[in-house]
């Protein structure tokens, strides 16, 4: 899978842009605040119908315009795809794939697979469980439409249950119904996450050893309010019932996959609490490259890899691993200079210079 071309109209600081991309390495070089990351953001948006930087779509529209437009033409082994996105000031968006309107976001996710690696991804290791849950949910959603559907339904029921918990007069029969629904959707979510982490463990092992020259071993472990993974649905129902009094007092649902997490261990030590920043960055690098291989294993094609100004943050061994591992997939890199890249670029590589929303190259 690779992007053949990208078009933007009134997107961020791009009034108009039309470029063809190479099938291997594409470098967008320029000073800070020139619009390099906006290119990656637009590509990412076509995969997930959302920005990786903001939840406010209207921020993506050029300041004196009322609509922004993105088009990517994608080559896939089974059928090429053309994704068109229109973003309106009122927060609405219209998306088509090969001129067919997308009515639900779930119909888009998985059409175009993409993995992004940016300095902010260090948060996967360092920050709250919600960041790690989001990572799992995004990866699984683009690999499995059923997972996305279950996640949407689970969150809908969860929100409705929380509304009931805030009422003065609570009908516990309604809570019984919600508990059954949460358990049904939650079972699939938890099973899928555990299965994904098993793949991540298997594939990450050699990647992490290669990056660290054999000095470290990485391991991931799912952390859940559910202890019996052989009877997830029954355990969820039981725990929701046991925690009902507490939930009514707190007016929020206290257990379920929306509270789960996963731990990252380096040589058996918790990376979040005890890992150095270098070790944490290596763990994220491992996670991202393992994600690439999981997508390839499941779909038969590598996704597009987006590297947003990460090379300057990496030491020699990490940089070496990245640049020697991107030969068989389309990679789009942003950077301020290409000094670190020159030994890894070839005649198939394309270099674009970005100056205040204008691209040369």
Edge-to-edge strand order for the sheet containing 350-355? Answer: 114-117, 304-308, 331-335, 25-29, 350-355, 358-360
pLDDT in tens, 174-221: 999 999 999 999 999 999 999 999 999 999 999 999 999 999 999 999
**CATH superfamily assigned to domain 118-286:** RecF/RecN/SMC, N-terminal domain (1.20.1050.90)
H-state helical runs in 230-276: 232-242, 244-250, 271-274
Asked whether 306 and 335 are in contact (CB, 8 A), the reply is no
**Is 32 annotated to bind ligand?**
yes
Closest to 3 measured CA to CA, from 108, 99, 80: 80
What's the maximum distance between 2 C-alpha atoms anywhere in the chain?
Answer: 70
Segments of the chain assigned to CATH 3.40.50.300:
1-113+301-360
Question: How far does Cα 198 stand from its chain's mean position?
Answer: 18
**Is 35 annotated to bind ligand?**
yes
* Domain 1-113+301-360, CATH among 3.40.190.10, 3.60.70.12, 3.40.50.300, 3.30.300.30: 3.40.50.300
Q: Name the DSSP letter for residue 102.
A: P
**Is 33 annotated to bind ligand?**
yes
pLDDT by position in tens, the chain (length 361): 999 999 999 999 999 999 999 999 999 999 998 999 999 999 999 999 999 888 889 999 998 899 999 999 999 988 999 999 999 988 889 999 999 999 999 999 999 999 999 989 999 999 999 999 999 999 999 999 999 999 999 999 999 999 999 998 888 899 999 999 999 999 999 999 999 999 999 999 999 999 999 999 999 999 999 989 999 999 999 999 999 999 999 999 999 999 999 999 999 999 999 999 999 999 999 999 999 999 999 999 999 999 998 888 888 888 888 888 888 899 999 998 887 787 778 888 899 999 998 998 7
**Is 37 annotated to bind ligand?**
yes
**Is 31 annotated to bind ligand?**
yes
**Is 277 annotated to bind ligand?**
no
pLDDT in tens, 275-293: 999 999 999 999 999 999 9
Query: Six-digit token pair at 163?
Result: 């509304």
Segments of the chain assigned to CATH 1.20.1050.90:
118-286
Residue showing tokens 């925690």:
243
Cα-based angle 207, 211, 214 (whole degrees, multiple of 5): 85
CA separation, residue 225 to residues 181, 257, 261 (Å) = 17, 8, 9
Closest to 219 measured CA to CA, from 232, 207, 235: 207
Closest to 24 measured CA to CA, from 308, 332, 322, 336: 332
């Amino acid at each position: 899978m690779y992007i053949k071309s990208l078009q933007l109209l009134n997107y961020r600081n791009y009034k108009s842009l039309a470029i063809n991309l190479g099938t291997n390495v594409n470098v967008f070089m320029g000073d800070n605040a020139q619009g390099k990351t906006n290119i990656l953001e637009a590509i990412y948006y076509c995969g997930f119908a959302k920005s990786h930087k903001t939840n406010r779509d209207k921020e993506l529209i050029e300041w004196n315009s009322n609509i922004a437009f993105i088009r990517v033409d994608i080559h896939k082994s089974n059928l090429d795809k053309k994704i068109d996105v229109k973003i309106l000031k009122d927060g609405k968006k219209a998306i088509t794939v090969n001129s067919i309107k997308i009515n639900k976001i779930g119909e888009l996710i998985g059409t175009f697979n993409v993995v992004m690696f940016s300095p902010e991804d260090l948060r996967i290791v360092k920050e709250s469980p919600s960041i790690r849950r989001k990572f799992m949910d995004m990866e699984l959603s683009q690999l499995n439409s059923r997972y996305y559907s279950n996640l949407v339904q689970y969150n809908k029921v969860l929100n409705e249950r929380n509304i009931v918990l805030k009422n003065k007069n609570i009908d516990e029969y309604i809570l019984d119904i919600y508990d059954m629904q949460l358990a049904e959707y939650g079972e699939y979510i938890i099973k899928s996450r555990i299965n994904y982490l098993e793949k991540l463990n298997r594939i990450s092992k050699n990647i992490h050893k290669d990056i660290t020259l054999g000095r470290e071993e990485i391991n991931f472990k799912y952390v859940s309010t559910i202890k019996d993974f052989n009877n997830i649905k029954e355990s969820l129902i039981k725990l929701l019932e046991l925690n009902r009094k507490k939930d009514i007092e707190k007016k929020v649902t206290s257990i379920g996959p929306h509270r789960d997490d996963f731990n990252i261990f380096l040589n058996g030590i918790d990376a979040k609490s005890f890992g150095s920043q270098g070790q944490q960055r290596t763990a994220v690098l491992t996670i991202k490259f393992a994600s690439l291989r999981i997508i390839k294993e499941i779909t038969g094609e590598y996704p597009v890899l987006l590297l947003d100004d990460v090379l300057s943050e990496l030491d020699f061994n990490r940089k070496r691993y990245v640049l020697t591992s991107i030969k068989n997939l389309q990679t789009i890199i942003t950077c301020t200079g290409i000094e670190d890249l020159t030994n890894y670029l070839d005649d198939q590589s394309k270099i674009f210079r970005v100056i205040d929303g204008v691209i040369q190259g």
